[in-house]
């Protein structure tokens, strides 16, 4: 996907109020053609309302939605070039798989011969040719999901919306389906917007993610940007594990802030090109996997080194998780890859350890 | 796997089995047994005695002498065209009433099912509220309303719409009105139970796939509510066919319904065997649609072929 892409969907200042409450608040977002875009947020963050406005089930209280240049704000769902794959799949229980998939084409008035052809093509794409005559109740969860996908895709929508597409599947099937979904999207080139509360789902599927919080967009970026460069405290805490550290500015070196954390009894350093607006207390953050844990004091480092005692240890085989307590009682989470084969851990419970991380790994959170 | 645990399980299984037997016992006692008695009487001959029919099993001095059964009562029903006409007329009136109940009840049930939960409870209560007053009283109340000097005629005359009272009572119209009024809740409740359960995502899905609201209704809501429609129709149709009180109180002399014939045979003619034959035939007529419904439901739950 290297060719320059035009924004297919433009969400411009969209607000949706239910009574006094703004479920979606002044959201503006551009989604590019051919993108696999994820809207990520916890329940009640407004992502479902935003999705329903894209599908046409809800009308924005303010703002507008453009799809391929056309204003969709007042276009009813049955006239939009958009299809939705429901979280519950919403397969018509009284119709066979084939009737379910052909329903949209029949409503569109597509000639019967073409319907047959397109439905067969779709069913073979999702590998359900042999199930065409079955009713939904005779299908497994994964098969239902594929029927729902085929039914939504057969109309060749400009935009496919997927509401928690993997939530109803068990863990094994999820991992498999995840890759199939991304693959299918790549093959078809249709723009997908996935709404999900599951950060793993968003991270692995999407080319870009919008994190929503309390009706607003907290950050938009690639999975890497959202994870490594969270824009604020909420995104930092919501996506992945993180250690939040409160600090007091002690010195402004060029391109750096030097801080002292009372809770960790440590001097910290964080990269900062523009220290304006920052004074006194600031919050920095470090991901657990960026921290090195060791029983020996690291050489040469006074900054970003924390002393503590291992209070908890979780061994997962490929990695170990540590909860290390500093003298003040503050807990720092550390994860370490178990790179060397050994049944004996180098760091054990109650060991006194040194935690250290690079300046570049420290995240400065301005809000 | 201890002995005590398995004994406990055995005991609860035994209780379960007994609990399952209970409905069968109930049906046996209060449905099958009375039916067999009626069937027996329908095979007897009328006699002037107490009870007014001949015995099925004859006992002489030496004990059991034989079975005396006759099909003459059934033959009489079929030879006399009068009964055939009444059966047809009853079926027709019940069918029309059922259809009217469906046309009235479906939109009501649909509306109630789509309300927020609290208002739903209130509206449902309103539907079943009439049951708190005796059925007989409610039918009598209609006489007061439909009378030539009743409320409706009085109001229409007072308003100047008519100057002569119109005949609202003692005709088929009054019977239809009475049946529809009395049995409407039996239509609404199963329809409501069905429509309330429906997954509203299905309607959104239909809209998403290009269906307008009425198309989504025709393609999704209506076919999925068929079990509710059938259930409601049976609950109205079956009692309406044999309805006695409503035609007796609101109907005219020319209102032909089997319930009145039954009453006349039992209490006016005191011909219990013919009356019994009439009700056995009625039951056979009604069993057919019930069995059809059972099969339909069985197919629905049993899945596709």
- What is the structure's pLDDT at B301? 56
Kindly tell me if the per-residue pLDDT of A274 is higher than 90: no
- What is the structure's pLDDT at A367? 78
Domain count across chain B: 1
Does A279 contact chain B (CB < 8 Å)?
no
Option in B202, B208, B210 nearest A92 (CB): B202
pLDDT tens digits for range A114-125:
999 999 999 999
Which residue segments constitute the domains of chain A, with CATH numbers given? 7-238 (3.40.50.300), 243-365 (2.40.50.140)
Residues of A in contact with B296 (CB under 8 A): none
Q: Do B202 and A83 touch (CB under 8 A)?
A: no
Q: What is the mean pLDDT of residues A282-297?
A: 92
Q: What is the mean pLDDT of residues A281-292?
A: 92
Q: Do B204 and A103 touch (CB under 8 A)?
A: no
Tell me if B140 is assigned to some domain: yes
- What is the structure's pLDDT at A4? 53
- What is the structure's pLDDT at A218? 95
Residues of A in contact with B212 (CB under 8 A): 78
Higher-scoring residue by pLDDT: A286, A367? A286
| Nearest chain A CA: its distance from B125 CA (Å) | 29
Tokens of A49: 């309302």
Residues of B in contact with A56 (CB under 8 A): 207-208
Option in A86, A94, A151 nearest B223 (CB): A94
Distance from C-alpha of A238 to C-alpha of B35, rounded to nearest angstrom: 70
pLDDT level of residue B2 (50, 70, 90 thresholds): low
Q: Do B204 and A138 touch (CB under 8 A)?
A: no
pLDDT level of residue B1 (50, 70, 90 thresholds): very low
Q: Do B303 and A137 touch (CB under 8 A)?
A: yes
Q: Rounded to the nearest 5 degrees, what angle is found at the Cα of B160, between the Cα atoms of B158 and B165?
A: 70
Distance from C-alpha of B107 to C-alpha of B101, rounded to nearest angstrom: 10
With a CB cutoff of 8 Å and minimum separation 6, the contacts of A144 are A89, A91, A136
Cα end-to-end distance, chain B, whole Å: 41
User: Number of CB pairs < 8 Å for A and B?
Assistant: 65
Higher-scoring residue by pLDDT: A146, A4? A146
Distance from C-alpha of B211 to C-alpha of A108, rounded to nearest angstrom: 8
| Residue A294 contacts residue A277 (beta carbons within 8 Å) | no
Share of chain B above pLDDT 70, in %: 95
Scan for tokens 């406005």, then name that residue: A53
- Distances in Å between the alpha carbon of A102 and those of A109, A121, B172? 11, 11, 48
Please tell me whether residue A254 adopts helix, strand or coil conformation: coil
Residue of A25, A18, A73, A60 whose CA lies nearest to A45: A25
Tell me if B189 is assigned to some domain: yes
Residues of B in contact with A90 (CB under 8 A): 199, 201-202, 204-205
Number of H helices, E strands in chain A: 8, 20
Does A273 contact chain B (CB < 8 Å)?
no
| Residue A227 contacts residue A239 (beta carbons within 8 Å) | yes
pLDDT tens digits for range A346-360:
888 899 999 999 989
| Residue A37 contacts residue A160 (beta carbons within 8 Å) | no
Mutate to test the interface with B, among A99, A103, A148, A158 (most CBs of B within 10 A): A103
Q: What is the mean pLDDT of residues B85-95?
A: 93
Q: Do B204 and A90 touch (CB under 8 A)?
A: yes
CATH of residue B161:
1.10.3720.10
Q: Do A103 and B215 touch (CB under 8 A)?
A: no
Distance from C-alpha of A248 to C-alpha of A266, rounded to nearest angstrom: 11
Tell me if B249 is assigned to some domain: yes
Distance from C-alpha of A100 to C-alpha of A114, rounded to nearest angstrom: 16
Highest mean pLDDT among A177-186, A295-304, B216-225: B216-225
Residues on chain B bordering chain A, Cβ-to-Cβ distance under 8 angstroms:
199, 201-202, 204-212, 215, 219-220, 223-224, 303-304
Tokens of B134: 């005796």
CB atoms within 10 A of CB A192: 25
| Nearest chain A CA: its distance from B220 CA (Å) | 7
Q: Do B201 and A94 touch (CB under 8 A)?
A: no
- What is the structure's pLDDT at A2? 47
The DSSP symbol for A130 reads G
With a CB cutoff of 8 Å and minimum separation 6, the contacts of A254 are none
| Nearest chain B CA: its distance from A109 CA (Å) | 10
Tell me if B195 is assigned to some domain: yes
Residues of A in contact with B297 (CB under 8 A): none
pLDDT tens digits for range B241-292:
989 999 999 998 888 889 888 888 888 888 999 999 999 999 988 888 788 8
Q: Do A83 and B209 touch (CB under 8 A)?
A: yes
CB atoms within 10 A of CB B265: 21
Scan for tokens 């393609």, then name that residue: B219
Distance from C-alpha of A32 to C-alpha of A34, rounded to nearest angstrom: 6
Q: Do A104 and B212 touch (CB under 8 A)?
A: no
Residues of A in contact with B303 (CB under 8 A): 135, 137-138
Tell me if B57 is assigned to some domain: no
Tell me if B185 is assigned to some domain: yes
Mutate to test the interface with A, among B201, B205, B214, B300 (most CBs of A within 10 A): B205
Distance from C-alpha of B250 to C-alpha of B55, rounded to nearest angstrom: 38
Q: Do B199 and A90 touch (CB under 8 A)?
A: yes
Residue B226 belongs to what domain range?
Answer: 80-270
- What is the structure's pLDDT at B60? 77
Does A132 contact chain B (CB < 8 Å)?
no
Does A131 contact chain B (CB < 8 Å)?
no
Distance from C-alpha of B109 to C-alpha of B127, rounded to nearest angstrom: 10
Q: Do A82 and B208 touch (CB under 8 A)?
A: yes
Tokens of A79: 């006239």
Residues of B in contact with A88 (CB under 8 A): 199, 201
Higher-scoring residue by pLDDT: B4, A63? A63
Evaluated on CA atoms B143, B146, B151, B154, the torsion sign reads: negative
Phi, psi of A274, rounded to the nearest 5 degrees: -130, 90
Q: What is the DSSP string of B64-96?
A: EEEE----HHHHHHHHSHHHHHHHHHHHHHHHH
Option in A77, A79, A90 nearest B201 (CB): A90
Mutate to test the interface with B, among A58, A75, A94 (most CBs of B within 10 A): A94
- What is the structure's pLDDT at B303? 42
Q: Which residue of B has its CA nearest to A103?
A: B209
What residues 53-82 of chain A have any CB closer than 8 A to a CB of chain B?
Answer: 55-57, 76-79, 82
* pTM (two decimals): 0.82
Distance from C-alpha of A355 to C-alpha of A297, rounded to nearest angstrom: 8
| Residue B33 contacts residue B21 (beta carbons within 8 Å) | no
Phi, psi of A41, rounded to the nearest 5 degrees: 180, 160
Kindly tell me if the per-residue pLDDT of B5 is higher than 70: no
Q: Which residue of A has its CA nearest to B204?
A: A57
Residue of A259, A275, A279 whose CA lies nearest to A267: A259
Continuous segment of H or E residues that includes residue A15? strand A7-18
- What is the structure's pLDDT at B136? 92
Kindly tell me if the per-residue pLDDT of B47 is higher than 90: no
pLDDT tens digits for range B162-199:
888 889 999 999 999 999 999 999 999 999 999 999 99
Distance from C-alpha of B83 to C-alpha of B88, rounded to nearest angstrom: 9
pLDDT level of residue B304 (50, 70, 90 thresholds): very low
Highest mean pLDDT among A168-182, B215-229, B258-272: B215-229
pLDDT tens digits for range A319-342:
999 999 998 889 999 999 988 888
Q: Checking DSSP bridges between strand A36-40 and strand A191-196, what pairing results, if any?
A: parallel
Query: Which ipTM score applies to this complex?
Result: 0.85
Option in B208, B211, B303 nearest A83 (CB): B208
Phi, psi of A359, rounded to the nearest 5 degrees: -60, -40
**A285-305 burial code (b ≥16 CB/10 A, e <16):** bbbbbbbbbeeeeeeeeebbb
pLDDT tens digits for range B102-152:
999 999 999 999 999 999 999 999 999 998 999 999 999 999 999 988 899
- What is the structure's pLDDT at A3? 52
> How many residues in total does chain B contain?
305
> How many residues in total does chain A contain?
367
Residues of B in contact with A76 (CB under 8 A): 207
Tell me if B284 is assigned to some domain: no
Tell me if B244 is assigned to some domain: yes
Does A109 contact chain B (CB < 8 Å)?
no
Does A83 contact chain B (CB < 8 Å)?
yes
């Amino acid at each position: 996907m290297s060719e320059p892409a035009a924004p297919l969907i433009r969400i411009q200042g969209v607000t949706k109020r239910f009574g006094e409450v703004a479920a979606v608040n002044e959201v503006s977002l551009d989604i590019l053609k051919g993108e696999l875009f994820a809207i990520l947020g916890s329940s009640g963050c407004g992502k479902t309302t935003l999705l329903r406005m894209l599908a046409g089930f809800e009308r924005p209280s303010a703002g507008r939605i453009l799809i391929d240049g056309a204003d969709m704000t007042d276009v009813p769902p049955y006239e939009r070039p958009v299809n939705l794959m429901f979280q519950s799949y919403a397969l018509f229980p009284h119709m066979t798989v084939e009737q379910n998939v052909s329903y949209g084409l029949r409503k569109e008035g597509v000639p019967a011969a073409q319907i047959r052809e397109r439905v067969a093509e779709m069913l073979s794409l999702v590998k359900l040719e042999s199930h065409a005559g079955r009713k939904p109740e005779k299908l497994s969860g994964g098969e239902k999901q594929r029927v729902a996908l085929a039914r939504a895709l057969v109309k060749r929508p400009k935009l496919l919306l997927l509401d928690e597409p993997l939530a109803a599947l068990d863990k094994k099937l999820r991992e498999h389906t995840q890759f199939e979904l991304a693959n299918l999207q790549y093959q078809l080139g249709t723009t997908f917007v996935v709404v999900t509360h599951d950060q793993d789902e968003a991270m692995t599927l999407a080319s870009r993610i919008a994190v929503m919080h309390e009706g607003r967009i907290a950050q938009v970026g690639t999975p890497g940007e959202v994870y490594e460069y969270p824009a604020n405290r909420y995104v930092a805490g919501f996506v992945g594990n993180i250690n939040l550290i409160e600090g007091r500015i002690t010195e402004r070196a060029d391109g750096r802030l030097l801080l002292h954390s009372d809770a960790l009894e440590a001097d910290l350093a964080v990269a900062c090109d523009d220290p304006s607006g920052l004074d006194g207390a600031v919050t920095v953050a470090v991901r657990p996997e960026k921290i090195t844990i060791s029983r020996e004091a690291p050489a040469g480092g006074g900054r970003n080194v924390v002393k503590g005692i291992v209070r908890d240890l979780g061994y997962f085989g490929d990695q170990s998780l540590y909860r290390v307590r500093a003298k003040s009682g503050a807990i720092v989470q550390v994860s370490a890859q178990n790179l060397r084969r050994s049944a004996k851990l180098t760091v054990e419970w109650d060991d006194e350890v040194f935690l250290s991380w690079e300046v570049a790994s420290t995240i400065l959170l301005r809000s | 796997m201890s002995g005590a645990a398995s004994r406990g399980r055995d005991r609860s299984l035994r209780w379960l089995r007994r609990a399952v037997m209970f409905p069968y016992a109930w049906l046996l006692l209060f449905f099958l047994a009375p039916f067999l008695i009626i069937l027996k009487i329908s095979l007897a001959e009328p006699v002037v005695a107490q009870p007014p029919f001949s015995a099925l099993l004859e006992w002489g001095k030496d004990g059991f002498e034989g079975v005396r059964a006759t099909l003459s009562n059934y033959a009489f029903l079929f030879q006399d065209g009068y009964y055939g006409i009444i059966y047809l007329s009853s079926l027709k009136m019940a069918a029309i009433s059922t259809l009217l109940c469906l046309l009235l009840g479906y939109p009501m049930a649909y509306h109630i099912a789509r309300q927020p939960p609290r208002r739903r409870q209130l509206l449902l209560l309103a539907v079943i509220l009439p049951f708190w007053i005796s059925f007989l009283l409610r039918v009598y109340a209609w006489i007061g309303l439909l009378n030539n000097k009743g409320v409706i005629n009085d109001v229409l005359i007072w308003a100047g719409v008519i100057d002569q009272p119109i005949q609202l009572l003692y005709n088929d119209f009054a019977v239809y009105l009475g049946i529809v009024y009395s049995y409407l809740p039996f239509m609404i409740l199963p329809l409501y139970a069905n429509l309330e359960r429906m997954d509203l995502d299905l309607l959104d899905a239909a809209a998403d796939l290009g269906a307008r609201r009425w198309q989504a209704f025709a393609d999704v809501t209506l076919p999925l509510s068929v079990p509710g429609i059938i259930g409601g129709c049976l609950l109205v149709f079956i009692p309406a066919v044999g309805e006695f009180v409503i035609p007796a109180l609101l109907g005219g002399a020319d209102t032909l319904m089997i319930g009145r014939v039954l009453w006349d045979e039992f209490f006016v003619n005191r011909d219990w065997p013919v009356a019994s034959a009439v009700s056995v035939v009625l039951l056979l007529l009604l069993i057919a649609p019930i069995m059809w419904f059972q099969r339909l439901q069985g197919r629905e739950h049993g899945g596709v072929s």
